[in-house]
A and B are shown apart, each in its own frame.
Chain A
Amino acid sequence: MSEYSEVDLEKFKHLLSERALIGETMVLNMGPQHPSTHGVLRLILELDGEVVVNCIPDVGYLHTGIEKDMEFRIYEKAVTMTDRMDYLNPLGNNLAYCLAVEKLTELDVPPRAQVIRVIVAELQRLNNHLLWMATMGLDFGALSVWLYAMREREFELDINELISGSRMMTSFLRPGGLWRDVPVEFEDMVRHYLGMLPRRIDQYEALLTKNEIFLDRTKKVGIITKEQCIQQGVTGPILRASGVAHDLRKAQPYSGYEQYDFIIPTRPEGDVYARYLVRLEEMRQSLRIIDQGLKKLPYGPVRSNNRKIVPPPRSEIGVSMEALIHWFKLWTEGFPVPKGSVYATTESPRGELGFFIESDGGTKPYRIHVRTPSFEIIEAMPIMMRGHLVADVVAIIASTDIVLGDCDR
């Protein structure tokens, strides 16, 4: 039985300390099926009693070859693959992909589509942070936070369902705009959500922020410094919780983010508690952005009228021969894209999400690579864990807010 129960030390020899090899410290396997690893993350922990000496993350259990798969789809159809990477931020992934294709084809996006894109992207951020708070509460033993946050997340999923017909795999944003205009109920639903959520966030704060047990488990736990974050390429709320006010929505604005008034929350500590506070404040800022977006939501088309790239509306097919030809060509052959490569980035709830697309002039992407934020965060996890107790490992994983679908692709 020994080969089943023990970690193969030979394989990780160069990563473990000498004490592990002579049996002084224990090498413990955690995951990939552990309920607290947020997906299928496997950690190999080297323990000295209860203290973590080293940690070796092992990823790839959710690798589905999405990059390869996208090479065999036309640009319009490859959108569906992007939903399936980071399943808590599907519309944000659509957005990053569409920005890359639009950069490559120099396609314009109408103002109404831009504003709706911003609104749905911020709704996704709320969705993600709510689920993060729910699972973090669960990991700390605060079951009520899980129930409350999941309840609010349900409203957000209802909005997804309203606009796209699907609660998670939306594929709502397309190169050149949106799949279709939002229904008339959209504005009311989002306003209702905006009216409800600020008070609910206050309620979560009342449950957690000054909770003695919560503070004991989060303060001075899992510290990562500014320099370490930069070295490891960690972006997003973790970088901001370490004192760097960096947000791509401000640094390299896309989709008209420069017109919105919001602040970048930062904390200097870099521990689990700081990340909690930063994400909480980010939720409030997202609400502000959505509010501003709704106030200035213009009327007009939601798709570019470049008929060589964007399929014409269904209503024209019956009366226009050109529209029918374009419809047929665009959905079978796809649109050709100029030769070259671009790297487009957005600020996903986890950090910098970048799409590298190389085109050979054909209708299918020659090579797509996705720079996903979770990958770097998991790589930096050993830094946060060294010297902490096994019980804190769960807290640290929860605070990093990783999605393994995002990491493994």
Chain B
Amino acid sequence: MDELLQAACAAIQVRYDADLQEFRGEYTLFLTPETVVDAAQTLRDEFTFEMLMDVTGVDYWPQLEPRFHVVYQFYSLNHHQRLQFRVPLNGNAPSLPSLAGIYASANWREREVFDLMGIYFDNHPDLRRIMLPADWEGFPLRKDHPLGYEEVQFTFNVDEINKRKRKPGRYEK
């Protein structure tokens, strides 16, 4: 493990009570929505992880606690090191604070996560849909969203399918 990475991991583990996991040479810190902004600020200012490369989400439906993980990829330009943050989130319409104030590149990446996964980012400057049309209903990258087809309705299952169809505003906050 690189010195910088070790120092950064140790500092964040101690200060923000984070869990460290290693898999295939990649290091992941598990944080909570309350600590992620401060931890990112620390990472950028003290440990020169000046680029936020990626923000994405993973849906563990039907598990609800946690249902989502939001994954951040940080990169240190001078030391060529990568570090991951993971923030587990509970419930069907979760929210966490935005990193757009610290890393400008978080702006669109968080919009994408909001658009496709339905995770709300508080204090985001411009939380609109980015890939899908503004009037789209539902969040297609969730695991309970079908893959672009409609189930064939017969008389024996028409009620059941109608019950499953999403109602407008189901995921609204």
Contact = CB atoms under 8 A, between A and B. Distances in A.
A and B are partners in one complex rather than unrelated chains: yes
B130 A60 contact: yes
A11 interface: yes
Interface string B31-57: 000000000000000000011111010
B169 interface: no
A307 B56 CA distance: 33
B1 interface: no
Contacts of A15: 126
Given A341-B23, A366-B58, 6 more contacts: A60-B131, A104-B24, A106-B24, A233-B103, A358-B58, A367-B59
B103 A371 contact: no
Contacts of B131: 59-60, 63, 408
A230 interface: yes
A244 B77 CA distance: 9
Contacts of A11: 134
Nearest to B125: A14
A75 B148 CA distance: 20
A14 B133 CA distance: 19
| Count class of interface residues, chain B | 35 or more
Contacts of B147: 68-69, 72
A292 to B, nearest CB: 23
Given A59-B131, A60-B132, A367-B58, A379 B107 contact: yes
Given A14-B126, A65-B148, A231-B103, A369 B53 contact: no
A68 B80 contact: no
Nearest to B75: A352
A15 B108 CA distance: 14
Interface string A216-239: 000000000000001111000000
A11 B129 CA distance: 12
Nearest to A15: B126
A103 interface: yes
Top-10 shortest CB links A-B: A233-B105, A369-B56, A60-B131, A371-B54, A63-B131, A251-B80, A231-B104, A340-B23, A379-B108, A367-B58
A233 B53 contact: yes
Contacts, number: 87
B84 interface: yes
A369 B23 contact: no
Contacts of B137: none
Contacts of A69: 147
Nearest to A8: B134
Contacts of A340: 23-24
A371 B84 CA distance: 14
A369 B55 CA distance: 9
B20 interface: no
Interface in B112-157: 112, 116, 125-126, 129-134, 140-141, 145, 147-148
A227 B133 CA distance: 33
A379 B105 contact: yes
A306 interface: no
26 contacts: A14-B126, A59-B130, A60-B133, A63-B132, A65-B140, A67-B116, A68-B141, A68-B145, A68-B147, A68-B148, A104-B24, A231-B104, A252-B80, A342-B26, A343-B54, A343-B84, A354-B53, A356-B54, A367-B59, A369-B71, A371-B53, A371-B54, A375-B108, A375-B109, A376-B108, A379-B105
Given A104-B24, A343-B54, A369-B56, A231 B130 contact: no
Given A233-B103, A342-B24, A354 B54 contact: yes
Contacts of B73: 343, 354, 356, 371
B40 to A, nearest CB: 13
B82 interface: yes
A180 interface: no
B23 A342 contact: yes
B106 to A, nearest CB: 9
A292 B23 CA distance: 34
